[in-house]
Structure 1
Amino acid sequence: MDFYLINNAFPAQVMVGAGALARLEWDREAGKVLIITDRGLLHTENIAKITRLFPKADIYGELSGEPTSAMVDAALEFSRRSRYDLVIGLGGGSALDTAKVVAALHGSRETVAEVFGKDLLGPRRTRMGLIPTTAGTGSEATPNSIVKDSADGVKKAVISKELIPDWVVLDAELTLSLPAAITASTGMDALCHCVESALSVHANPFSLAYSYHGIKLLSENIEAAVADGADLEVRGAMLLGSFLGGLALTIAGTTAVHALSYPLGKRGVPHGVANGMLLPWILEYNLPACAERLMALAPYLQSVKPLESAADIVDLTFEYVHTLPVPQTLDEVGIEAECLPELAAEAMKQERLLANNPRPLTAVDALALYRKLLAKKSTDG
């Protein structure tokens, strides 16, 4: 009989449904509230909705792009000017990851760089609520915050149970304004989380339950969400699929897709874009080591063609990238061939992620995979 350890880190309270934010009752009487969001949301209806619930809250909206340690430390400094009882993160993964660190370090003088790593945070004394406005990162479900170190440009993780929020609101209405391209790239990020965690060497029956249902929700709805962003039912399915992906990766971890995407993120490629373009190539590479586990995904994947082999599943992921409005090649995101050896060397430093991959991967393998991303692969036939 297999032996496995379940680390079931789950937010204490989760509210799911269109219009859920308007029903929020948790922490309504909290003393002093800080809302952390990004510049793109500052003057939107989403901010208006949360400030109607917390009219006296302070708002920090200086975030732009994926978070750097300098950006997170600036948010921390802002938070330390007052004593907050509740920190709310509203936005995509950047706002949520920043809010998690701010809530955890609010009562200390530490910088985020001092807590890069696992279990380096002390007990969190500030309550935390997270409200995603994209269906992608699943950050609201994980004990992780991913931050680019401003000192070296490398993405690093803060991992601690103290980053699990007290409550989460999954309200599809908050995702209605997402453009098609962002819907596609964040949706591919969520699909990566579910697929990678399903194939991880640390997958177990608990993580697989989250992975499989997340794959089903995302696979059935990603194309519809891109085509008709006003469909609340589809948007809700994407949001829940993303959340389940976060739960799955919390237990099983992500794999070589994320390891190879981080060097691209260092060079300004959005995280979902990098993961999406890498997913089919990594699956093709991993195929000899996990064909049976790949086939186990077939019942949960929507496809117009029969999925009769693991290779068919790899082809389906190529089809997603081919048909969705996401970049397919490194050239499209400004990465040139001369950069590839450096990318491969940086990817090999992501030992935490590579250890989860079902097939060992060397620097030579990483370089070969990056080279494949230089040209489009046809999905015809």
Structure 2
Amino acid sequence: MPLSFQAAHSSELTFGAGKKYIGARRSLMNIAVVGLAYSHPYTYTQILQRTGHTITHVWDDVPDRLKEFSEKFGVPVVSSPGEVPADEIDGVICTHRLPERIDDAVMFLENGVPTYTSKPAATSLDHLEKITSAVRRTGTPWFSTSVLRYAPAVLGLKSYLDKGKAGTLIQVRATSCHYISHYMQEPGIWQDDPERGGGSIINMGIHGLEMLSVLVGPRIRRVWCQAGKRFHKESLSEDAAVIGLEWEDGLPGMIEVPCGVKGESFGVEVFGREAILKFSIPKADIQEASGAALGDADPWVEFGYAGTMAALVEMCRTRTMPVPLEETERLAKVLIAARESARTGGPVEVV
């Protein structure tokens, strides 16, 4: 069950430094955007604005990018994250670079603002501890996830598995296939840096891991990882990786992370005693290798962007975390362990 920090139906709640939360009275939220280091905040903003919510403020440290965003979406600019008035917003989307994003998020959490930090949650145990301890200390809800957690294909397969129709699970496999060519040059190089953005293992591996966590749970106890450079020899991390997983009940699994490709596609295959089930995202009867659907699939829905924003709005309204803190924390530790395994060449226990 989600970790609840406040009663969802209060008309007025007080938290943090005496800030009063009035979002539970309203159906439409005021949300700020801090950092434009990903493409995601552009999509998030369109979804939120089209569903009646207000993006109240925006900040970024790249002036041209900030100006373009402000003019395109009609959002007022602030000069720093600290200039966003915490008492005027119901939530914040923090999508600045890592590790700077951690400090931004902690500031908002300490001011009682429900905070979404996209993915990955953190790329080191120290940074993970910094943000999770802030959540526990303040009681402010925090949300960090791959959007694929809310992809209809993932949720549909989960419903099927929950009914036990696959029987005993034998093993599972996920694929997170995404090009990284744009991370080979500025302003995206930080995402390819293992110490900053996590590199392909963490930054792209989270997509496969998040899907598997929804389907079979997060309790992974051991990780193996092999990684290399097949095309992008200049990569600071890797453009190909295979992550082996072992759950606490002995279930074996694997995540394939091919990132030297031109296209993108994601999928899961579940091998059960009674059924072998699989899906690809986006869904379509016919797909190009790039993952582009030749049918009428809506990418905002099929990739989970719309569902993720619905979860964010609900978090702002009810102050209930969409994903238990312990699960988000566990998934981050699994990927950090995978990075360590790739470095050492041996298995790593997740503690």
Range into which the TM-score falls when normalised by the shorter chain: 0.3 to 0.5
TM-score (norm 1): 0.34
* Bigger strand fraction: 2
* Bigger helix fraction: 1
If asked which structure has higher relative contact order (CA below 8 Å, sep 6+), I would say 2
